Each structure stands twice: as C-alpha cells, then as structure tokens.
Amino acid sequence: MRITKPKPGEPIKIIETKTKGVRYRAVVDVGVGPDGKRRQDMTTHDSLTAARHWITETRAAVKDGTYLTKDRTTFDSLCNRWLDSRRDIREVTRVGYTDVLKAARVRLGKRKAQDITRSDIESFVTWLQTEGGQRGTGVSRRTVVFTLGAVRQVLAYAVTEGLLRANPAESVKAPRKQHGDSHSTAVWAISDLAQFRATADSHEWAAGWRLSLCGLRRSEVLGLTWDAIDLAAGTVEIRAGRVLLDGHRTAIDAPKSSASWRTVNAEAIHPGTVALLRQMKARQAADKLKAGRAYTDSGLVLVDALGSGIRPERYSDEFRRLCDEADVPTVRLHEVRHTIALALHRAGQAPADVASLLGHSVSTHLAFYVPSTKTGAQSAAQALGSALSAAG
C-alpha cells in the first residue's frame, strides 16, 4: 500500500497504529503561554488532506484571534467555577442558583463545555418542558426561564474566560408565555389590612405583624435586631435580612438590594407599634431570666422563649392562620406589600416615595407592585364611560 508523505517542512508526522493503520499527526504553534513558553496544538487525522486542512484552519484562527485552546473542562466543573466567582451575590441567591442548575448538571454535567452546542441547549429546554420535572412531567415555564437564564450565565462566564468563542445558549428562547403561566397577585382592601391588624395585635408576635403591615419583607422582620430600632422616634432601620437557604438552614445577610437599606417610621403608619415593641422587649427579658444559660441572646426582635429566631416558614404559617382568625382573604404574606403599594398608588402618592418605603426601585414598583385588579378595571371603565358621556 502506497503511503502519501508530507512535504518537507510541513508540521506533519506519519504514525502507524495497530488498529487504524497509518495516520497523520499535525502540530501547530498557537502562541505563547503566560509562562513565556511556546504553546502548540496537536491532532491526529486519517488522511494527509485532513491534516493539512486542520493546519490551515488553525493557523487562520490564531492569526485572527479566534483560536481556542482545547480544554477538557466539563459543564459541571464550569458551574462550580462560575458559582465560586459570584462574590457579588447573597448566600440565598447562591443557593438558588445551585438549585436551579441541578437539572442542567444532570443532563449536561459530564459534557466538555467546548462540545456543547446550541442544539444541545435546545434539546435540554425541550426535555425540561416535557419530562424534566417530578414523575416525568414537564416543569413550569417559570422554572424553564430561571434554569435557562442560569445556564446562559455559566456559559457566558466561559466566554469571558476564553474557553468558548460564543455562548451556545445566548439565542435559545424560553417557551412563549401562555395564559395561566403567571401567578395572579391577590391584594387586600385597606379594611382587610386594618381588620387583620386588630386581630394580630393580641398575638405574641404583635409587633412583628405591625412591621409586616408597614411593608417590610419577611426576611427584614425576621432579621431585625433591637439595635436597629429607635423606640423614641418610632422608627426601624433595615440593615439585614434573615432568609431560609435550603429548607433547613437560615442565614442573616445584607438586605435584598441597595434600595432595601432604609428607615421606616412604623409608629407613623400604625400608632401603638412602639408600645407593642416595648411589651415584646420586656417579655424577652423575662424569658431570658427564666431560661438562664439555655437562652440564646441573638439580639433579634422576633424570637422564641429561648431566644432563637423564629423560623421563616413558621412565620408564614402563622400569618395564614391569623388570616382565617381575622376573617380576611388568605393572601401570601408578600402580597401585603402589594396591598400597600396599590393603596398608596390609588391615593396619589408618588411612585418614588412608595418605592422608598417598600425598599425597591421605581421600575420594580411600577412593573410588579401595582397589580391590575378586576375592581380596578371596572372602576377605570366607569370613569372612561363618564368622561365620554360628558364629552358627548
């Protein structure tokens, strides 16, 4: 059998293997490494033509700056590196990313990041929609959006690290939003809020409920410490949040965003809040004296009889129970914030002022915290009808 030989000077070497016979190994200089040493790339081909084609393509990529050194980093390892790099996020956010990436790591984790294509991401999204959930059923659109978003960020990180030329998930679309995909926000009437307050004022966490009715997030109420309260002024300063991480652990971290750092005049919103806070502080002092060494002096405002912080899920469960007791609609605890936002919006308060009270941006306030309602639509329709009648 005649063997075609490379021309003199070509960086190609003939090698013979037991299984595949004659092959052609090509070597190309691809630059200089951080250590100043020459870097080379090498590959083996079945034909001399294929080896020459690879050399031409590789040299062209090196020349125009698009060459990528072969890398064996898997998607799973890339996820770990990306999570480690995110020093800018809260622990609860890190836990959330870790959780939302689980499905992607199961499906793509062992694959080399450089081998993942757009088609792979498209197939993964389809799998999520059809059988990626429990018992082989599809997951919600919301889960698909969050998962795809996290995968995009991981692969974008690979691009910035020089592992990928382009992000294969960049143009992959989440499923189109359908009617019923969004959770409808329920809000109270102001009379419901006042009725709940009247019932909650006799509860052992009465001061905590008052703060929730001021628009504080659950994490902000549960992370509030006594040194952040000015009893003389009737104000509370939001400095931290206490959140549930993984169903078991809790952590005290910085507020959700820069806008969340704020001072709220609780006494101005609900007169009598300071008195309830003083009662709670006195009760804690009595509990501490009774428990002795068993008491945990956490400094938190909302604690149990031994000084440990109230579990977040317990606070939410008790809120639902109090809704029943007060005979008001059972809404999610977070929807109290929406109730306050909508009430102040209808009262003509400036969006920037309401956003400052609730601790979020104006854009977030208008996009998510001023929900449309059936009664609002009816009221608007009647107002439009009246205006048209007057004009006619």
pLDDT in tens, 100-140: 999 999 999 999 999 999 999 999 999 999 999 888 899 99
What was the pLDDT predicted at 371?
Answer: 67
For residue 179 the two structure tokens come to 């009617």
Contacts of 52 (CB under 8 A, 6+ apart): 10, 12, 26
pLDDT in tens, 296-337: 999 999 999 999 999 999 999 999 999 999 999 999 999 999
Lowest mean pLDDT among 87-91, 177-181, 343-347: 177-181
What is the CATH number assigned to the segment(s) 190-369? 1.10.443.10
Give the least confident one: 139-143, 246-250, 264-268: 246-250
Mean pLDDT of the region 137-166: 94
Residue 111, both tokens? 């694959």
pLDDT in tens, 67-95: 888 889 999 999 999 999 999 998 999 99
Q: Return the closest-CA partner of residue 45 out of 1, 4, 7, 73.
A: 4
Residue 33 has pLDDT above 80, yes or no: no
Q: Average pLDDT of 143-147?
A: 96
pLDDT over 70 percentage in the chain:
97
User: How far apart (Å, rounded) are the C-alpha atoms in residues 171 and 121?
Assistant: 10
Q: Distance between CA atoms of 265 and 252, rounded to whole angstroms?
A: 23
pLDDT of residue 180: 63
Q: What is the pLDDT of residue 152?
A: 98
User: What is the chain's mean pLDDT, rounded?
Assistant: 92
Predicted local distance difference test score (pLDDT) of residue 135: 83
Length of the chain: 392
pLDDT at 37: 85
* pLDDT (average), residues 176-196: 84
Least confident of 109-113, 214-218, 263-267, 347-351: 347-351
16 has which bridge partners? Answer: 22
pLDDT the model gives residue 228: 98
Q: In degrees rounded to 5, what are phi and psi of residue 370? A: -120, 75
Indicate the pTM of the whole model.
0.75
Q: What is the pLDDT of residue 271?
A: 97
pLDDT at 392 over 90: no
pLDDT at position 344 over 60? yes
**What distance lies between CA 106 and its chain's CA centroid?**
20
pLDDT, position 215:
96
- Residue 181: pLDDT band (50, 70, 90) is low
* CATH among 3.40.600.10, 2.160.20.10, 1.10.150.130, 3.90.550.10 for 75-161: 1.10.150.130
What does the alpha-carbon distance between residue 245 and residue 224 come to, in Å, rounded to a whole number?
18
Query: Per residue in 353-382, pLDDT tens?
Result: 999 999 999 998 988 887 666 677 777 778
